[in-house]
Amino acid sequence: MSNLLTGAIPKIVRVVPRNRNIEALLLLFAVGLNAFELAQIQLSLLEVLNADFFLYWLPPAVLAFVIHVILRNRASEADPMILPIALVLNGLGLSMIYRLDLGSIANGGTELFGMKQVIWTVIAMAFAAAVIIYVPSHLFLRRYVYVSMFIGIALLLAPSLPLIGRSINGARLWIGIGPFTFQPGELAKIALTVFFAGYLVTRRESLALTGRKVLGLRIPRARELGPILVIWAASLLVLVLQRDLGTSLLYFGLFIVLVYVATGRSIYVIVGMTMFITGALVASRIMDYVSGRFDSWLNPFDSKNYDAVGGSYQLAQGIFGLAHGNLLGTGLGGGIPHLVPLAESDFIIASLGEELGLVGMFAILGLYLLFVARGLRIGFIHPDDFSKLLATGLSFVIALQCFIVIGGVTRVVPLTGLTTPLLAAGGSSLLANWIIVGVLLRVSDSIGAGEKVIGGGR
Amino acid sequence: MSELALFIVRTGFLAVLWIFIFSIISVIRADLFGQKVVSKVASANAPQVVSAPVAPSAPGSLVMEPTGSNATKLSIIEGDRTGHNIALDRRELTIGRAEDSDLIVDDEFASTHHAKLVLINNDWLIQDLNSTNGTFLDGARVGTPAVVKLNTPVRVGKTVFELRA
């Protein structure tokens, strides 16, 4: 930001205001937005404001300002927009989950998620703060490239193990000890991004420059395609063992994009996408689960799919909900989003779409867009190659996850069981995404203070 | 709550949500706008700004001497890193594909240790380090080390840079 320029140019213009002051203003705005949501919900459903308001409003707000103060001391040049955007998204999700709880209490339901979500939000934001404090520089994570590979693979495969692995709704993505369940795949995406970034920094030369030219396209050597084959096989293994198309697409897509960013060669994207589509098509022929998902996606209103167990009932209900929301929505607390199964986790975007309408849905997508754009910008202007890949990978993984989940709910792609980042109920997902927020903040602080002398004017 | 009040609250919330988004966008815009002003000042070397009292390098930049002595930065004008500047705050600056180069040129036409800039007797000299594809100063291939004057294009691979005051 502004400090980059002062080396080369006299300190005449400090047009850009200080990052942290902008952040404080945006945070106040975000906290106000969250209060508005909760007040609207309580007024329309309970017709009175009660003490629960503070229970859901204060903890995230306080922690956001704690992180803000930590940033002032430890990473004062960090990006000013990431934290407020994350807080608004988390607050929106939390309010909607609270709203669904109130709805299910009114209907005699007993399974509540709101309080759990508050606790996980606090834990997750504490982890983000810890990342900022205990990761001293953007190069720190580079020391743990191979350790993260093992952690990533272990987390990815843990749900497939007997004893601790758990299947919920057909997908084997959880581990459980007693009543406590956890989705390790969410954390695996961070570990694997660190590994991919570290691996590709050392191998980018050979991936980028070797190979013969055929018809104007440089075809990589077989040796360079090896790692891609390994990752491809691993992601298909995830598809087969854990029965989840979304997870396997997420990791493979992440890898392909990082290879593309590291080498700048589109051939890898073409080869990678062809391989994944081929693999998925073959799987859809062989595995009932995948072909069922495809059929529900293409014909959700077919009574055969609608009535089937694990069929398209949920998807169709979600679409009815979105249609009920219309352009401006029913207002928070005005709709009937609890009719959709898993309205608080997988289908939270349909619940929000129903109550905030198309206008609100686009606002949420706009928030994600800004979040991802900030992350990609960090990757774009960071002088250090490892940090470039890390920031790009972490923000891309959020973008891809949004695309897979929201695309699944709105029938752009087949529906899969991933969570909407920062919105959906679920501790592991919140934890992973807040850690990503922490890492992005830490990396963005070092843009001006990189080891390389190249400090961009942009 | 009455129907009308509900409608106002409902649309009001959406409006506030969008105002939040637009305030973020306006910060980003101010960011870009602010930096644009700065880079214009830098490239035009506008005297009225340079002579501002806070400007440390003001006197030197006012007089355009043909030697490289008062060059303060290297500006990349063509190639992957177009628009980047490197401060010339040392006596030597290496250029090449190697990770430890001061200016990393990332293309197939550059050698690992391609060339270097050296400050000798207040002149910046460019020296080609036996690179495969050569270094070009103002279009001519550099044989023996040559003096780089201000605002003269130097080409290494696909990257072209100039020294600027």
Kindly tell me if the per-residue pLDDT of A293 is higher than 70. yes
Mean pLDDT of A394-407: 94
CB-based contact A13 B37, cutoff 8 Å: yes
Chain B residue with minimal CA distance to A363? Answer: B18
pLDDT the model gives residue A350: 93
CB-based contact A13 B41, cutoff 8 Å: yes
pLDDT the model gives residue A246: 82
In a domain, A232, yes or no: yes
CB-based contact B13 A15, cutoff 8 Å: no
- Chain B partners within 8 Å of A93 (Cβ): none
- Reduced DSSP (H G I as helix, E B as strand, rest coil) percent helix, strand, coil of chain B, to 5: 30, 25, 40
pLDDT the model gives residue B64: 42
pLDDT the model gives residue A348: 92
pLDDT the model gives residue B34: 59
CB-based contact B11 A84, cutoff 8 Å: no
Which residue, chain included where needed, has tokens 């705005």?
A: A29
- Chain A partners within 8 Å of B1 (Cβ): 43-44, 47
Please count the other Cβ atoms lying within 10 Å of the Cβ belonging to residue B149.
Answer: 17
Q: Which residues contact A10 (CB under 8 A, 6 or more apart)?
A: B50, B52, B54, B55, B56, B57, B58
For residue A361, give the nearest of A400, A316, A402 by alpha carbon.
A402
For residue B113, give the nearest of B95, B125, B99, B126 by alpha carbon.
B95
Q: Does B56 touch chain A if contact means CB atoms closer than 8 Å?
A: yes
pLDDT the model gives residue A377: 92
For residue A156, give the nearest of A253, A104, A231 by alpha carbon.
A231
Q: To probe the interface with A, which of B6, B8, B38, B112 has the most A CB atoms within 10 Å?
A: B38
Identity of the residue in B9, B50, B87 whose CB atom sits nearest the CB atom of A7:
B87
pLDDT the model gives residue A410: 92
pLDDT the model gives residue B25: 92
Q: Is residue A449 very low, low, confident or very high in pLDDT (cuts 50, 70, 90)?
A: low
Mean pLDDT of A247-274: 87
Better pLDDT: A58 or A214: A58
CB-based contact A455 B84, cutoff 8 Å: yes
Identity of the residue in B50, B58, B83 whose CB atom sits nearest the CB atom of A457:
B83
In a domain, A6, yes or no: no
pLDDT the model gives residue B65: 44
Tens of pLDDT, residue by residue over A153-211, are 888 888 877 777 777 766 677 777 766 778 888 888 999 999 999 888 887 777 777 66
The reported pTM is 0.76
Tens of pLDDT, residue by residue over A27-64, are 999 999 999 999 999 988 888 888 889 999 999 999 99
Contact present, A38 and A48 (Cβ < 8 Å): no
Identity of the residue in B18, B24, B86 whose CB atom sits nearest the CB atom of A26:
B24
Give the end-to-end CA distance of chain A in Å, rounded to a whole number: 8
The minimum CA-CA distance between A9 and chain B, rounded to whole Å, is 7
Structure tokens at B73: 């930065």
CB-based contact B84 A457, cutoff 8 Å: yes
Which residue, chain included where needed, has tokens 């380090």?
A: B129
pLDDT in tens, chain B (165 residues): 577 888 888 899 999 999 999 999 988 888 777 544 444 444 444 444 433 444 444 444 444 444 556 778 888 888 877 778 888 877 788 888 877 788 888 777 788 888 888 888 778 888 888 887 888 888 888 888 888 888 888 888 888 888 887
DSSP run (H or E) holding A212: strand A212-214
Backbone angles phi, psi at B30, to 5 degrees: -60, -40
Mean pLDDT of A135-156: 85
pLDDT the model gives residue A68: 94
In a domain, A4, yes or no: no
CA–CA separation, A215 vs A81, rounded Å? 45
- Per DSSP, A216 falls in state T
In a domain, A242, yes or no: yes
In a domain, A2, yes or no: no
Beta bridge partners of A180: A177
- Chain B partners within 8 Å of A43 (Cβ): 1, 9
Mean pLDDT of A12-22: 61
Looking at residue A188, its amino acid is A
In a domain, A157, yes or no: yes
- How many pairs of residues across A and B have Cβ atoms under 8 Å apart? 136
CB-based contact B13 A331, cutoff 8 Å: yes
Identity of the residue in A9, A328, A458 whose CB atom sits nearest the CB atom of B11:
A328
The minimum CA-CA distance between A258 and chain B, rounded to whole Å, is 17
In a domain, A456, yes or no: no
Q: To probe the interface with B, which of A16, A19, A374 has the most B CB atoms within 10 Å?
A: A16
pLDDT the model gives residue A396: 95
Q: Can you point out the beta strands (E) in chain B?
A: 73-78, 85-87, 92-96, 103-104, 115-120, 123-128, 135-137, 140-141, 146-147, 154-156, 159-164
pLDDT the model gives residue A28: 95
Sign for the pseudo-dihedral over CA of A36, A41, A47, A52: negative
In a domain, A322, yes or no: yes
Kindly tell me if the per-residue pLDDT of A262 is higher than 50. yes
Better pLDDT: A220 or A113: A113
Backbone angles phi, psi at B163, to 5 degrees: -95, 135
pLDDT the model gives residue A359: 94
**What residue numbers bound the domain in which A397 lies?**
15-449
Tell me how many domains chain A contains.
1
Chain A residue with minimal CA distance to B7? Answer: A331
Chain B residue with minimal CA distance to A366? Answer: B21
CB-based contact B72 A8, cutoff 8 Å: yes
Q: Characterize B3-33 residue by residue with b for buried, 16 or more Cβ atoms within 10 angstroms of its Cβ, and e for exposed.
A: eeebeebbeebbeebeebbeebeebeeebee
The residues in A 351-380 lying below 8 A from B, measured between CB atoms, are 356-357, 359-360, 363, 366-367, 370
Kindly tell me if the per-residue pLDDT of A288 is higher than 90. no
Q: Is residue A376 very low, low, confident or very high in pLDDT (cuts 50, 70, 90)?
A: very high
